[in-house]
């Protein structure tokens, strides 16, 4: 084996700012903890410093590439998270495990759990959402907006609510299908937009939460990914978990008149919080 063919190790990964290793195994399967605001991959060289790995990315092959000395390294991106979403994201350090795990994703044999802070408390504390989402269709240079209808299903459960603060609930979400922006769109469709979502959220409510708490991020977190997968003639288990970020607790704990954000944090004048009635 020449030096240019050496297998990439976890210690070789050029982790992006704030990215943390959760776990890895002997097959080259790696779970990282992505902070909110970082991209799963850069779309151009200017975005490399804001991505999961600070390395070049081949969009067609979905692989990061970089070089250390004379050694060329690669790491395949198995799944993606939206830039505002934090939590568990998977990489593969060799092509075989990448193919294996992506096949598990494509056949819905990967268990994923998300947590979201949403506006309003669902009237039914647990259940499932089944929707038909619209997807753009690309034909050559033409784009047909909403040209394809695709089914989306998500299980939900109310984990926590807080009286006396914002009208919000912490939901445990389990997507049973994997569609682009699925959780964000379904939360919106069922009148429980994710707090801080700048695309599908309640903009006035988001602004109010940001002013009062100083927390401006989208409150959606990939908390757990687990699966069984076949490799080298045997079945194996893999599980990675990420703790709920403190920002979620900060918003949940907020009470008018008790938690006052100083003006410089958001460059606004804080309002009087006593007796405040929040948007519902």
Which residues participate in catalysis according to the annotation?
82
Q: Which residues contact 220 (CB under 8 A, 6 or more apart)?
A: 82, 84, 85, 86, 114, 115, 116, 183, 184, 194, 197
Rg (CA), the chain: 21
DSSP characters over 131-183: EEEEEEEEETTEEEEEEEEEEEEEEEEEEEE-TTS-SEEEEEEEESS--TTHH
Q: Where are the beta strands (DSSP E) in 85-125?
A: 86-92, 110-119
The residue among 181, 205, 219, 247 whose CA lies nearest residue 120 is 205
Task: Please list the alpha-helical segments (H only) found in 17-134.
Answer: 95-106
Query: Which residues, in sequence order, are CB contacts of 130 under 8 Å at separation 6+?
Result: 151, 152, 153
Nearest to 168 by CA among 224, 215, 130: 215
Whether 172 and 159 have beta carbons less than 8 Å apart is answered as yes
Give every CB contact of residue 55 below 8 A, 6+ residues apart in sequence: 14, 48, 64, 65, 66, 73, 75
* Residue position matching structure tokens 């008790």: 258
């Amino acid at each position: 084996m020449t030096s240019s063919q050496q297998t990439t190790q976890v210690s070789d990964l050029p982790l992006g700012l704030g990215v943390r290793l959760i776990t890895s195994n002997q097959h080259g399967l790696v779970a990282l903890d992505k902070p909110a605001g970082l991209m799963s991959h850069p779309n151009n060289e200017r975005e490399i410093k804001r991505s999961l790995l600070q390395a070049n990315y081949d969009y067609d092959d979905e692989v990061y590439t970089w070089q250390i000395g004379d050694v060329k390294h690669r790491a395949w991106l198995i799944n993606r998270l939206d830039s505002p979403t934090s939590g568990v994201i998977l990489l593969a350090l060799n092509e075989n495990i990448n193919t294996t795990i992506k096949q598990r994703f494509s056949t819905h044999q990967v268990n994923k759990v998300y947590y979201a802070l949403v506006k309003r408390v669902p009237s039914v504390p647990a259940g499932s959402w089944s929707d038909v989402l619209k997807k753009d269709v690309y034909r050559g240079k033409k784009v047909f907006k909403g040209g394809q209808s695709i089914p989306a299903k998500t299980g939900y459960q109310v984990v926590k609510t807080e009286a006396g603060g914002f009208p919000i609930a912490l939901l445990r979400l389990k997507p049973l299908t994997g569609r682009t922006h699925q959780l964000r769109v379904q939360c919106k469709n069922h009148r429980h937009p994710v707090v801080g979502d700048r695309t599908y959220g309640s903009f006035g409510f988001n602004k109010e939460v940001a002013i009062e708490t100083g927390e401006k991020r989208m409150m959606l977190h990939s908390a757990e990914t687990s699966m069984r997968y076949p490799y080298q003639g045997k079945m194996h288990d893999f599980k990675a978990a990420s703790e709920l970020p403190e920002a979620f607790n900060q918003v949940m704990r907020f009470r008018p008149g008790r938690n006052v954000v100083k003006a410089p944090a958001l460059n606004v004048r804080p309002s009087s919080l006593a007796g405040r009635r929040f948007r519902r």
